[in-house]
Amino acid sequence: MDLYSVIALAMIPPLLSASNISSIHFRGHSQIYLSIRTITPLCYRETTEGVNPKVGIFVKRFPATVGSSVTASTVWFIASGPGSSSTVSKCYNPVIETRRLHKSSPWFYLSFAVEEYMKTLHLQLEGKGNMYTMDHHDTGRSTFLDCVAAQAITTGSPYGTGIDPPEVPACANDLQTKYGDLASFSISTTATDLAALIFKYTNGRSTIVYDVSYGTVLVEKLVNFAPPEVKGYALDSHAASDEFRYLSNYVIDLDEVGDAFLSLCEKDNNCHGHIQPNGLNNTLQSLLEKFNNNSNSTCAKLHTEYSVAGSNLRTLILPVIYRLNRCSAEDVNVLTQFFTVLFPNTTTKNEDSAYFSDLLYNLIVFSEQWESPMPPKPELRVTLGMDYWTPRYCAFTKDKTKEWNNFNNSNYDGNGIIYKRDQYWSKTVSIPSQASVLLMSGTLDPTTPIKYVESFLKSLKGVDYYKFDFATHSTIFSTQMIPGSLDICGMRVLASYVRNGGDLQSLNKSCVDELPAINLTVPDGILSKYLAQKMPTTKLNGWYPCSEYTFDDAGSSTGELAQCAVYTAPLCYPGICETPEDVNPMVDIFVKRFPATVGSSDTASNIWLIAGGPGLASTVMEGYMTDVHAQLEGKVNVYTMDHRGTGRSTVLDCVASQVTTTGSPYGAGIDPSEVPACAEDLQIKYGDLASFSITTAATDLATFISKYSNGRSNIVYGVSYGTFLVERLMHLAPPEVTGYVLDSSMAASGAPGDDFPYFSNYDIDFDEVGDAFLSLCEKDNNCHDHFQPNGLNYTHQSLLEKFKKDPNSTCAQLVNGEPSFGLRISLGILLPDENLRSLIPPVIYRLNRCSAEDVSVLTQFLTALFPNTTTTTTTTTPQDSAYNSDLLYKLLLFSEMWESPMLPKPELKFAGGINYMIPQYCAFSKENSKDCIEFNNSNYDAHGIIYKRDQYWNKTATIPSQASVLLLSGTLDPQTPPKYAEQLFKALKGTKKELIKFDYATHGTLYSTQIVRGDLDTCGMRILASYVRNAGDLERLNTSCIDKLPAWNLTVPDDILSKYLGTNDAYDGMFNSNLISN
């Protein structure tokens, strides 16, 4: 600190008592603050004779409430601006008529009020620190810089509270008489005020100084003074740089960030789809040219767009460009609403604006942050009309260079409203030995672009730097962990920095990896306010008493212990699809719950069980609901729902074309020949079938949880396809959900193309697990001995080749259809069942040996495996199949889970029989690829029964900050192999995740991990119950049951042996029909 700063410290009186003590209420906390107006020198060197040598500085603090405020550490919050006080939240500039897209302006900008952040940090630190702020020298409640004698910048003056060039000469003379050298209001002077205040009022305790935007320029000056009490400087949205950042280049900087933002349209399916084929950048360029060429066109007359720089408002840029370019009659109505809301009545004053000093703003900008002479500016696409400031700059500075002579406003007596740059201007700083520097910046900050932070970083040591992808200005505001929440990553990082006294090694920045991906969907509140897009109202019809089980073949209901309801939801959610005219805009969603029976259901936590499929109704989960409710001793609410398109929700079907009915030619399934009629039926009835997408179903769930659950913790469990929906829900990040459980994962978000779990690769995945199963024969002595010397794998492969070469051999003829394919199908049925799969080795053994006795046993096996489905005395179809939707199954499958074009499939040993779906895929998708042309079933007029993939498809999910993720997988699951769970586990952004693999288990670990065969007590259910009981806390998860699971055993259980083989010895026993009847 230099000599005049040290002398100045002695000139400030000590704080004896607070001049004002008040109480405020903040988010449920009564918070005491203290404020004082202290005295500092006008000038820290010499004061002009006849001028008041002192000014008042307003200081405010939130004292520590835990421990003593005298010994607590201190944080100083420095407001942005320049010209802002500690309370200012927004300042508005009168609308400037310019035909450009404006994203931000030095007057129409977020000048963040630090008081709110002081309170937030005070809570984050649990009241263990003192929070300070000040009104900069000459703003707010400090001595205010104004032209009282000249009566400029008053509401009654010709140009209002702003200052216009014609007012400058009188104001300049007024200020010269009143203050003399205006360096008394420079950045260095204010930094010296701050150094002096820290010295006087922070009890010598450790101090951290946080600043944002222009505040970073002020604090950079403070670093030069090196007050010893300051242990850390947190610079947020840095406005200073070695490569000096002139505010006169603001428009160029803004355009660069604007370009980067516009390019993100390519990453968002909804945006990308609307701006085809030229892209958003080209659309905007042509729109600007169109407006320049015809400024009287309908939409050009509407168009004066200003700041849309906030992280929520910026999502409006894309639809506004799209609508301005299209300019339909309806667009004009929507855009009129947009500009009306964006530019409200400018005579309405923000209460804080009285504390903002436009005069100080101009003084500092033109003295220290303006390039002179200004270089020519290029024609820009995203700008703010900065050139309108040029005449003001000339008047303030009295610049008479050739470029500015035409304004003729700098020829007046006296000094201009400007001061000379001092020795600290654009000087490289050295970090004091006792301190550190934390830099935070958003990559899409148009106000203080990231390039200046990176330039500043090059010259410093002892600095930690955090880039927040897609964040805008002020990272303690614009880095929300969940959109709309008060949980902000930038604030978390700042709290950790303060908590650790500026120690960068101890800094907790884990939240940076957990931030959500960019989402260009316009939030509901913004959509309705700015574009007058009314959100459909939703309602709940229920809750009504209902039985635990819907169908009697699922289980016996003990009484009406469950509750049922129907939730009315919009057909289309904003950003997903648009409801056509004359289409019913609402759908029904059926929800069922088992309320808590111990304690109150209003205060109990909740678990949701989401069915797989896709296309399965919630009836398949009712048994699991009963088990979970029992495992948790009735202390939780257990929920499920019918996905839209299934069950008692609005069913996706083709009623008008009478497809998918049991009486139609192809029954409840849909044949390729039926697709054209069904497609037209669905197009008329629903329009865009994205209304039945995975994202739409996930939005149903998120909306219901937020609107109609009890506000307590929610765990969401999904199995098989249900994991796709649960993973999609993670992207939506409802704050009430604290845990996500993905059992037998079909999702692998962020996977490379070759590793994505395409259902069209189902048979390949199936075969890989089949090979792993066959290799385990070596671990079972009985199996191993029967396949010597070649082994089970080799015997199986030889058998397939034998059947292919001689399909008319005795045992080949036993198998339905083409023998080698029929064998693969048969084994494919056995493999997913943890009991039936033990039949695979003896069946292969007997087919290969093919003795007369083997023929009898194998005949029984195939009869039991493929019973006569035409018999009228026995119903083999479960009752709940009536609630399943084959149409929804194929819509979701072909839209999001099918590879196109399909790659050639190898010859496989096991098969799930997926190849039969290829003709259906071609009919549904209307694909004209080489694979599909041969079927000749995609040439019809209607849209295909398919929808476009949206922005969440194969997008890496971020685990929400309040939640954890538990993945469960069986190592012998052929339907959803463990490799997908492993890929998802690696890809998920965040640390609160765990993957549990169950050796030898198959699909659905809540069922397939029996500790004792035949017992309903499963390890998967125990672990799920522990996860729910501990509210998703993975550290407390009880996994001890894994050690109790049975060892690998290929012995065929007696009941399976009797029913399927009719013998008492799987490999060598004789057929005995009495065993079957028994």
pLDDT band at 97 (very low <50, low <70, confident <90, very high): very low
Which tops the pLDDT comparison, 861 or 156? Answer: 861
What's the confidence (pLDDT) of residue 278? Answer: 80
Burial 757-789 (b: 16+ CB within 10 A, else e): bbbbbbbbbbbbbbeebbebbeebeebbebbee
* Terminal Cα distance for the chain, rounded: 98
- Where exactly are the structural domains of the chain? 536-641+688-752+954-964
How far, in Å, CA of 638 to CA of 623, rounded?
12
Check pLDDT > 50 for residue 308: no
User: Which is it for strands 586-594 and 637-641: parallel, antiparallel or unpaired?
Assistant: antiparallel
pLDDT band at 532 (very low <50, low <70, confident <90, very high): confident
| 624-644 residue pLDDT tens | 999 999 999 999 999 999 999
What is the average per-residue pLDDT within 407-417?
82
Question: Could you tell me which of 852, 813, 809, 845 has the C-alpha nearest to residue 827?
Answer: 845
How far, in Å, CA of 601 to CA of 710, rounded?
8
What's the confidence (pLDDT) of residue 241? Answer: 56
Q: Say how far residue 585 (Cα) sits from the centre of its chain.
A: 27
Burial 839-852 (b: 16+ CB within 10 A, else e): bbbbbbbbbeebee
Query: What distances in angstroms separate CA 19 from CA 133, 655, 743, one per listed residue?
Result: 15, 77, 62
What SS3 state is found at 212?
Answer: strand
Q: Say how far residue 94 (Cα) sits from the centre of its chain.
A: 35
| 595-617 residue pLDDT tens | 999 999 999 999 999 998 898 99
Question: Could you tell me which of 198, 182, 120, 119 has the C-alpha nearest to residue 357?
Answer: 182
User: Which residues lie below 8 Å from residue 849, measured CB to CB, with a gap of 6+?
Assistant: none
Cβ(649)–Cβ(888) under 8 Å?
no
Q: How would DSSP label each residue in 602-638?
A: TTS-EEEEE--TTT--GGGGHHHHHHHHHHTTT-SEE
What's the confidence (pLDDT) of residue 687? Answer: 94
Give me the residues paired with residue 610 across strands: 718
Check pLDDT > 90 for residue 737: yes
pLDDT band at 146 (very low <50, low <70, confident <90, very high): confident
pLDDT band at 882 (very low <50, low <70, confident <90, very high): confident
Question: Could you tell me which of 218, 220, 233 has the C-alpha nearest to residue 79?
Answer: 218
Tell me: domain 536-641+688-752+954-964, CATH 3.30.110, correct?
A: no
pLDDT band at 70 (very low <50, low <70, confident <90, very high): confident
Element (H, E) at 802: helix 792-805
**Percent of the chain scoring above 70 in pLDDT:** 82
pLDDT band at 13 (very low <50, low <70, confident <90, very high): very low
pLDDT band at 4 (very low <50, low <70, confident <90, very high): very low
What is the average per-residue pLDDT within 262-275?
76
What SS3 state is found at 87?
Answer: coil
What's the confidence (pLDDT) of residue 738? Answer: 94
What's the confidence (pLDDT) of residue 14? Answer: 36
What value, to the nearest 5°, has the Cα angle with vertex 1037 and ends 704 and 698?
20
Query: Cis peptide leading into 904, omega within 30 of 0?
Result: no
Query: What distances in angstroms separate CA 998 from CA 17, 744, 828, 1053, one per listed residue?
Result: 67, 11, 21, 21
Cβ(1063)–Cβ(1070) under 8 Å?
yes
Q: What is the 3-state secondary structure (H, E, C) of 95-150?
A: CCCCCCECCCCCCCEECCCHHHHHHHHHHHCCCCEEEEEECCCECCCCCECCCCCC
What's the confidence (pLDDT) of residue 402? Answer: 63
Q: Residue 770 corresponds to which amino acid?
A: G
Q: What is the mean pLDDT of the chain?
A: 81
What is the average per-residue pLDDT within 86-113?
37
Q: Residue 17 corresponds to which amino acid?
A: S
How far, in Å, CA of 1030 to CA of 191, rounded?
50
Of 202-211, 287-296, 303-312, 494-503, the range with the lowest mean pLDDT is 303-312
Which tops the pLDDT comparison, 258 or 1002? Answer: 1002
User: Which residues lie below 8 Å from residue 198, measured CB to CB, with a gap of 6+?
Assistant: 74, 76, 207, 209, 227, 229, 230
- Radius of gyration (C-alpha) of the chain in whole angstroms: 36
Cβ(646)–Cβ(885) under 8 Å?
yes
| 82-94 residue pLDDT tens | 877 777 443 333 2
| 748-775 residue pLDDT tens | 777 776 778 888 788 888 889 999 999 9
**Percent of the chain scoring above 90 in pLDDT:** 37
pLDDT band at 376 (very low <50, low <70, confident <90, very high): low
Q: Which residue has the tokens 């939506």?
A: 732
What SS3 state is found at 757?
Answer: coil
Answer whether 0.85 is exceeded by the pTM.
Answer: no
What's the confidence (pLDDT) of residue 1001? Answer: 96
| 954-1001 residue pLDDT tens | 888 889 888 999 999 999 999 999 999 999 999 998 999 999 999 999
What's the confidence (pLDDT) of residue 150? Answer: 72
Of 207-221, 528-542, 663-677, 765-779, the range with the lowest mean pLDDT is 528-542
Check pLDDT > 60 for residue 457: yes
Most confident of 139-153, 164-178, 675-689, 952-966: 675-689
20-26, strands of its sheet edge to edge: 20-26, 29-41, 54-62, 129-134, 73-78, 207-212, 230-236, 436-442, 463-468
pLDDT band at 299 (very low <50, low <70, confident <90, very high): confident
Q: How would DSSP label each residue in 805-829?
A: H-TTSHHHHHSSSSHHHHHHHHHHH
What is the average per-residue pLDDT within 529-556?
77
What's the confidence (pLDDT) of residue 537? Answer: 66
What's the confidence (pLDDT) of residue 872? Answer: 35
Question: Could you tell me which of 1055, 1071, 1065 has the C-alpha nearest to residue 786?
Answer: 1065
What is the average per-residue pLDDT within 725-749?
91
How far, in Å, CA of 218 to CA of 222, rounded?
6
What's the confidence (pLDDT) of residue 375? Answer: 60
| 892-927 residue pLDDT tens | 999 998 887 666 655 555 555 567 788 999 999 998
Angle between helix 114-124 and helix 489-499 axes, rounded to 10 deg: 60
How far, in Å, CA of 919 to CA of 672, rounded?
7
Of 80-84, 301-305, 526-530, 811-815, the range with the lowest mean pLDDT is 301-305
Cβ(350)–Cβ(91) under 8 Å?
yes
Cβ(91)–Cβ(361) under 8 Å?
no
Check pLDDT > 90 for residue 842: yes
Check pLDDT > 60 for residue 861: yes
What SS3 state is found at 370?
Answer: coil
pLDDT band at 536 (very low <50, low <70, confident <90, very high): low
User: Which residues lie below 8 Å from residue 343, measured CB to CB, with a gap of 6+?
Assistant: 95, 304, 306
Burial class (CB in 10 A: 0-12, 13-18, 19+), 453: buried
pLDDT band at 105 (very low <50, low <70, confident <90, very high): very low
Q: Say how far residue 661 (Cα) sits from the centre of its chain.
A: 40
How far, in Å, CA of 925 to CA of 200, rounded?
74
User: Which residues lie below 8 Å from residue 471, measured CB to CB, with a gap of 6+?
Assistant: 311, 441, 442, 443, 444, 445, 478, 479, 490, 515
Task: Determine phi and psi for 969, rounding to 5 degrees.
Answer: -150, 140
Check pLDDT > 60 for residue 242: no
What's the confidence (pLDDT) of residue 50? Answer: 67
Of 11-20, 26-35, 69-78, 780-789, the range with the lowest mean pLDDT is 11-20
Of 29-33, 185-189, 376-380, 1012-1016, the range with the lowest mean pLDDT is 29-33
Cβ(955)–Cβ(749) under 8 Å?
yes
What's the confidence (pLDDT) of residue 311? Answer: 59
Q: Which residue has the tokens 């033109």?
A: 366
Query: Cis peptide leading into 106, omega within 30 of 0?
Result: no
Can you say whether residue 660 is alpha, beta or left, with left for phi > 0 and alpha for psi between -120 and 50 degrees? left
